[in-house]
Amino acid sequence: MLFFLATRIVALHLAAMSAQSPSDPTETATLQGRLLVAMPGLDDPNFDHSVIYLCQHDEESAMGIILNQPIAGLSFTRMMDELGIEITDESQTDHSIYNGGPVQNDRGFVLHSLDYFIDDITLPLNVDPETLEVRRGVGLTVSRDILVDLSKGTGPSKALIALGYAGWGAGQLEAEIRDNAWLVAPASHEILFSHDPEHIWQSALKTLGIAPEHLSHLSGKA
């Protein structure tokens, strides 16, 4: 019964996504700015019970930041010390550092509120961009400058610092959603910047009206 319910939930999501697709077949419905919520049966330890914020999604690729995998033993103070950045605002030292995903996990990414913005953006993400406005008041910055500003207390009011990101090639994410690996959920500042990794997965499911116990740990292809 639980497996059927999990499969039915995913089927309803796919139908909703299809209904939201553009009428022009040359356009691609984007999930940019939304959450991916891992199904319990997702067979990849990198994404076990993960919640990912999709920062970029088009017909060629997708990339996002995992929100609920803090890196044990790596503090903001230690990270700034290793980067040679002086912390002059001690109120900023409580930032956690997160594992953003298995791709380029030696590179920093900061999700943040758009009360902070670095101009002169350059796309794509691997060509030294400044701030990318993702959607609904959320930005992504990869410049060292934002870490300097956070250390001085002049950075964004809300921020999540991550090392690495999750990435997919053309059609790969869509295939994983069809295979019941992910649910798609709306994003909000409350979830993105809650810094409550133990409860983000449940909170994301709650936005869909789903209780975690209603998802089967054996979920997979229908």
pLDDT tens-digit readout, 99-138: 999 999 889 999 999 988 876 544 444 444 478 888 878 9
Among 44, 80, 50, 62, which Cα is nearest to 161's?
Answer: 80
Query: Which pair of tokens denotes residue 173?
Result: 């994410």
Question: Is-cis flag, bond preceding 22, omega within 30?
Answer: no
What does the alpha-carbon distance between residue 90 and residue 93 come to, in Å, rounded to a whole number? Answer: 6
Question: For residues 125 and 108, what is the distance between their CA atoms, to the nearest angstrom?
Answer: 12
pLDDT of residue 119: 66
Counting as low any pLDDT under 70, the low residues of the chain are 1-28, 119-129, 216-222
What is the tens place of the pLDDT at every residue in 90-101? Answer: 888 888 999 999
* Distance (Å, whole) CA 88 – CA 51: 32
pLDDT of residue 9: 37
- Alpha-carbon distance of 49 to 37, in angstroms, equals 7
Compute the distance between CA of residue 39 and CA of residue 19 in angstroms, rounded to an integer: 22
pLDDT for the residue numbered 19: 37
Nearest alpha carbon to residue 210 among 47, 48, 10:
10
Q: What is the pLDDT of residue 20?
A: 39
pLDDT at 204: 94
Report pLDDT for 37.
96
Residue 106, SS3? strand
Which of 183, 200, 138, 167 is closest to 14 using CA atoms? 183
Q: What is the secondary structure of 108-128 as a DSSP string?
A: EEEEEETTS--S---SSTTS-
Q: For 66, how many CA atoms within 13 A lie in the half-sphere containing its CB?
A: 26
Identify the pLDDT of residue 64.
96
Residue 150 has phi, psi (to 5 degrees) of -60, -40
